[in-house]
A and B are shown apart, each in its own frame.
Chain A
């Protein structure tokens, strides 16, 4: 990996860039060269650049476009200014330029640079490395140097690069909906600042979202001092702060819990979806996977008990899963407290008991779980935690149990938290209603869309005289604001953040703001008339304050280079659980269990669009939900038994195009309608609603996706609410689901075993091959593959080309570690320029993901009863090109477009592909994707059937497409603004495929080649030996927070991948076909507790009947 960084006050880049001089334009044909030698001089040129076009002649149309290429180039050349600050590479103007006569230090033309930065999240941050190619960021990777990271990221971080180049961003400053100049907007801010400085901030209310940024904290502190009469409010539609609140109450001081899942041997998750919808998912996944990393059968392995109401990613990993309605989880917590707290917990227990008793069945389960927790070897190595949806009482109960089990300081530590003097949205509403707010400043967020429905925020917000909004999109809130300021992407502006363990990170920009956006820090500074307003200096000042001025310079350089401040992680606080205080804070009322007429609605954060902030991100919209496999929509999730009880029609899976009934859900006086989706593994009489869809104002991508679950949400019950009614309407709705068959059908694609079986029989996975392999004459070794590899023919030296090769690339995927989060899918999409295809095309089964996650439900033999479907086991399997050594795709291609290379890659020559699609038909894994309709060049609205616009008769921007194509063969059917921006996100090392071409996983061949080149450059061409292990990371491997994907050289017996493949758990999918894949899987090992009532041996998938012609019943 190439870690490049320009140190801050080091010599400025001194490229001898030649430009034609602005004022005295020489005669055509001869160019007078002027060299600039300092940044000041360059800045003058840049200033000249911003002068009106008419003054210097030339093409005016390029300047009329808001985002033309030229405009972008202008921005990028300006970004050179920042290069001296250590932030960015440079994208140079195209025409009047010559190559560097002196290279900037460390810069190699064509070689990408990596900068350390971070993506702020609600309670933490994701440490990142951003790959910058010629001045434009193109790929986001995790920062492996960070102490609390392995280089993995979550899918939001991977997808956030697409937001940067989103053509639907706010591109202009606006006042009352009309574009205004940046200066005018900033002047207004200055006027406001003057006004507030005069009246101490009276009438000012600032609405923020939570953030971990120390700079923001410092600025707000300063502002509070200056403007004591201003109000500071915080609102997050998905609020993760309850655990911290509980800790504050129970320990009597501001602390926040930090879980160390890798230390825990028994984990009990009470509606705690730490692998999915909780914040800092990537950290939790890594730590959890670390606790079940099996290198040999005797390795220790954690055990996960999950009590939950929806089927979540955490539930999918559970060794034991108890399905309860959300309101009954407190009963389970009370039961566990009863068994685990001991005498000290009596007051808390008596408060919790108000919730009522659990059912007998659940009691047996919980008793088994409690007994496991009480085992002496688990003391101090267990962890009980509650999810953000659960009320305070459950959080208190969970933390009390940890205290009783001696887990505090071991598996959960408490860090000091900032005192939280922010006020809530409800208080802001009161202030607005009282007319106390003159100026409302909304920084980020989208309250008009996501505030509780009972607040009617769109109208409430209008009660302020002036609403000033810093927003990334022109969304619902922007529409109800007077001033709209474009927000800078985190890759465009300076900032800082802390990860969940408290480590300080820089948020370094890698590109000048594309549309002149402002960061939160800058707006706050301007609002308070603080100096400096420049975010860079703000962040530096904070840094100086944090580390002390004396050693700040050296550390700052280190800080920016490494992307974190070493040793800045928070120290654990000594804490003592106060049962009396906890009991006092526990308010419990018994809820009747949900029933057919009083359903319980659960609102959950969406795994793809979060609370709605990623609604306009095409990659995330098209990513199949890890559980439901739905794309482009959310659905109202209903358990099979409930669907039956409510009379929902039974559905037959018919491919990716599903017509489902539309239902109406009523809670109190609020209703919403949405498509119903029958989801196995859910609690009965519970409706699962995901947030973030059904936007009334969003970009071109998010438009018309899903229903708005916020319409049912109230301030009092933001997480779950009882007493809902469901009515079936006569309408139906089309959903696009990428996987219509979830049963394994006994086909052994996924092999799994319980831990005891594995310890008894370490080679179990091999023996679980499909029975077809044992048919007459089909035993191993007796057959030749159907499509032998031509490279297996020995050459003159008696060795085959493959034997002569230095590398044999292979991959091993650990199904025990994989949780199915989907970060790999987005990473692959980002790295390999994979287009999105839109809902209509997904519904036609044409999505383009090279790497997909197959999700299997296993129900065992009792699958026919809907009740049994609550007890599903879920398995995720990443499926990508298996790079078969005896590849069935290769010999059927008449054009020789897909061939093998010596190192074992199944190579796809796009240029040679004519698109007969036979290779895909013959691929037993169906991992090849066909570009049916020029998905790169067509905008989404031209990808909806049944009639597609033909370039023969279609016009774009008033020009016939054919003539556009004739003039610009590289152009597209997209509007120019969109196309110019979207082109920038493409990885230049990977071909952008046209229509009619088959494509598939290449094992990131571009990364392999780059590593080889680097190796040869280092060793000299003749001496270059094989690449060292770890020199090549595929994009999916790099992104995987669990470390489930390992890629490397199989020729090296000591490589990580070769070692993994020697494990007894190693198997290949459809082994009996003798395709000899280079991708193998490590069987999933479950670790259930034999003493539990729901213990099954073997895992349910192995009890499944073999495939027959019937429809799998787990589907509906």
Chain B
């Protein structure tokens, strides 16, 4: 593709900041379409099959273990009294945290006109949906009598009627999660429509044409459609951003509405939102860094993207550190000995390892991201992201188990160990997550085709020729 030259003689070319391009030099619009659509066309690469079978095995494990747990009882897990919530809720909060960042990264960055989001936001959104799916398994099956879960819905009934307890944060959670999931799916799907049209147009099989055609909702790319589309997308982005904050605040209220020292604190909602962003960023990086190598997307997801994500991670981790500090300060400042004990216990009691691990992984290690060299070293960023995931898991462990194992009366103090079924179920959720994610990238464009194009110099109306210095084509 070439752009016809316009005579610019006598005119001064606008000054462009000396910036790295978002997409590697030499990539034109056609290349982008070919490259990104190729992921879902043609035979799947060998690495994909390998990853897929392993993930499918993990999903099978999940199904088997859930059948075991549901047929035997919650006792197959390590939960006890007083630690009535264990890995089930830890993993729920962990997955939901991951599930929050995707939409947040996508929607918030969209609202803030961060153009670099284009390369990563679809992956993040897909991650969101599947993480929420994994998360939703836990509250659904961790209850004692799974088959009565539907009682949580305020359905008309003949029992009096008996309604759910609207004062319970678990009740709010259902609605918050449900709304969030629906909006996330809508948001992701809306973003997909123009790309689905591309796939439809490129499809070689009847089935492909038919399915993609159906999903593309008759997209033709007319100006009128684009105008509607952008309005809708903007609205959904605004809604999603608000929802992300509200949903994770409500997850935080699951804890904060109780009266346990260590849970009952007003800090929790913002603390959880920040934590969710951190864990989501960690997961996005954990997924994308190997993926850009495996799927040969280095030119689309460039070091500059990773650099940006790194900066964002650093900012969020520092904010999280601030929350940790506030927790300590408030425990001291409250003058409540039970609060103080709860905080001291975390740092010195049986869960001290988890506590210091959390501080190390979520606060100390990410400080390495201050150095541009680290941020631009994918291997190092990947290790840091992995540690952040671990740290965020430990944070939830400290919050759930660390508080429950030492509450008000010393005779109730106890200890908690997970069982093999706990571990297996957790591993299984990874299987499910990866299975879904791999299928998504196999059949849908994981990197938004049309949006990436907007970051190309060719797409910039202010620069009809593109910047020669930066590799624009003449």
Contacts and interface: CB of A to CB of B under 8 A. Distances in A.
Interface stretch (A447-455, A595-603, A886-894): A886-894
A933 interface: yes
Interface string A886-930: 001011111110000000000000001111111011101110111
Most buried by A among B78, B82, B258, B348: B258
A844 interface: yes
B335 A775 contact: yes
A879 B170 contact: no
Contact of A772 (B81, B165, B337, B413): B337
Interface string A822-866: 000000000000000000010011100000101110000000000
Given A896-B164, A1108-B344, A924 B259 contact: yes
A176 to B, nearest CB: 43
A893 B166 CA distance: 9
A343 interface: no
Nearest to B69: A950
A894 B165 contact: yes
B162 interface: yes
Contact of A655 (B336, B337, B416): B416
A406 interface: no
A855 B348 contact: no
A740 B414 contact: yes
Contacts of B344: 1108-1109
Contacts of B84: 917-918, 920-921, 930
Instruction: Find the residue from A739, A855, A924, A946 having the highest chain B CB count within 10 A.
Output: A924
A894 B168 contact: yes
A49 B70 CA distance: 45
B143 interface: yes
Sorting the interface of chain B by its residue count into under 10, 10 to 19, 20 to 34 or 35 or more gives 35 or more
Nearest to B338: A772
Nearest to A928: B81
Contact of A931 (B82, B85, B144): B144
Contacts of B174: 894
B73 A933 contact: yes
Given A912-B151, A1109-B341, A924 B81 contact: no
B74 interface: yes
A116 interface: no
Contact of B76 (A749, A772, A948): A948
Interface class of chain B by DSSP: loop
Nearest to B413: A741
Contacts of A915: 74, 143-145
B312 to A, nearest CB: 34
B298 interface: no
A593 interface: no
Given A916-B143, A929-B81, A921 B258 contact: yes
Interface string B159-203: 000111101111100100000000000000000000000000000
Interface string B327-371: 000000011111001001101111000000000000000000000
Q: Which of B67, B79, B264 has the most CB of A within 10 A?
A: B79
Interface string A633-658: 00000000000000000000011110
Given A844-B78, A894-B152, A950-B72, A1107 B145 contact: no
B257 interface: yes
A741 B81 CA distance: 14
Contacts of A657: 415, 417
A742 interface: yes
A934 B144 CA distance: 10
B166 to A, nearest CB: 9
Contacts of B82: 845, 920-921, 926
A790 to B, nearest CB: 9
B148 interface: yes
A896 B163 contact: yes
B258 A893 contact: no
Give chain A's interface secondary structure class: loop
B80 interface: yes
Given A775-B336, A892-B258, A996-B143, A741 B72 contact: no
Interface in B222-237: none
A995 B410 contact: no
B427 interface: no
B322 interface: no
A191 B76 CA distance: 58
Nearest to A841: B75
Contacts of A951: 71-72
Contacts of A879: 409, 411
A622 to B, nearest CB: 14
Given A917-B84, A920-B81, A929-B81, A742 B411 contact: yes
A776 interface: yes
B423 to A, nearest CB: 11
Contacts of B167: 891-892
Contacts of A1069: 409
Contacts of B410: 741-745, 747, 749, 856, 1107, 1112
Nearest to B167: A891
A1107 B71 contact: no
Interface residues of A, number: 78
Contact of A1109 (B67, B260, B335, B349): B349
A311 interface: no
A932 B79 contact: yes
B419 interface: yes
Nearest to A924: B408
A845 B74 contact: no
Contacts of B411: 739, 741-742, 852, 854-856, 879
Task: Name, among B142, B348, B409, the residue most crowded by chain A CB atoms within 10 Å (CB to CB).
Answer: B409
B157 to A, nearest CB: 11
Given A950-B71, A952-B67, A914 B257 contact: no
A656 B165 contact: no
A892 B257 contact: yes
A747 B409 CA distance: 7
Contacts of A771: 337
A366 interface: no
B412 interface: yes
Given A743-B410, A926-B409, A996-B73, A844 B336 contact: no
A1008 interface: no
Given A744-B410, A879-B411, A915-B145, A933 B72 contact: yes
B32 interface: no
B149 interface: yes
A1096 B168 CA distance: 48
A798 B171 CA distance: 31
A654 B144 contact: no
A846 B75 contact: yes
A991 to B, nearest CB: 14
Given A844-B78, A946-B419, A1107-B341, A930 B144 contact: yes
A995 B144 contact: yes
A948 B81 contact: no
B420 interface: yes
A893 B254 CA distance: 11
B164 A895 contact: yes
A918 B151 contact: no
Nearest to B403: A921
A786 interface: yes
A969 interface: no
5 contacts: A655-B405, A742-B410, A855-B411, A891-B167, A1069-B409
Top 9 A-B residue pairs of the complex, sorted by shortest distance between their CB atoms: A915-B144, A996-B144, A655-B415, A932-B75, A845-B80, A933-B75, A1109-B348, A917-B84, A1109-B344
Given A656-B414, A931-B73, 14 more contacts: A655-B80, A655-B416, A741-B411, A786-B264, A894-B164, A912-B162, A914-B152, A915-B74, A921-B258, A922-B259, A925-B409, A929-B81, A932-B79, A996-B146
Interface of B: 67-68, 71-76, 78-85, 139, 142-146, 148-149, 151-152, 162-165, 167-171, 174, 254, 257-260, 264, 334-338, 341, 344-345, 347-350, 404-405, 407-417, 419-420
